[in-house]
Amino acid sequence: MQKITPCLWFDGQAEEALNFYAGIFRNSRVYNVKRYGDAGPGKKGSVLAANVSLDGQEFMALNGGPMYKFTPAISLFVSCETQDEVDHYWHRLLEGGKPSQCGWLDDKFGVSWQIVPKALGQMLEDKDPRKANAVMTAMLKMVKLDVAALKSAYDSV
């Protein structure tokens, strides 16, 4: 386990969420599943906490109850090499969720994700501010990010 591990607080959905995420990301597994016993406070046999490794990134999940909800103030950033990869993560994580803008979405558990092609960062870092501005303007009009459209905006300057 890595030194610092994000912990995601769920209201009874931790096991379902971790299995959902592990089914989307390669090289993933759910492990260290801890279940409530007779002492509670959860229903005996239900998940108290578990860990998941999503393509090498470790997370912990806790069924802590309804007191806290996810917000976009914390999001999970997925760096993608290709449009196919953007499309894969976007469509899978969006199942039962809702899209936002500029590559952001909330999944069916309320967790916010950013699905971003690496090419976007490279174009935004261009030394020519006109190219970077053209890419930013194009991105701000998008929901799911489109690498070809971003590249077209970049090349138009």
d(CA 58, CA 41): 26
Domain 1-68 classified CATH 3.30.720.100? yes
What are the structural domain ranges in the chain?
1-68, 70-157
Q: Is the pLDDT of residue 1 over 80?
A: no
What gap in Å lies between CA 148 and CA 68, rounded to an integer?
Answer: 39
Strands 47-54 and 29-35: antiparallel
- The arrangement of secondary structure in 70-157, i.e. its CATH architecture, is Roll (3.10)
Question: What pLDDT, in 10s, does the model give residues 77-127?
Answer: 999 999 999 999 999 999 999 999 999 999 999 999 999 999 999 999 999
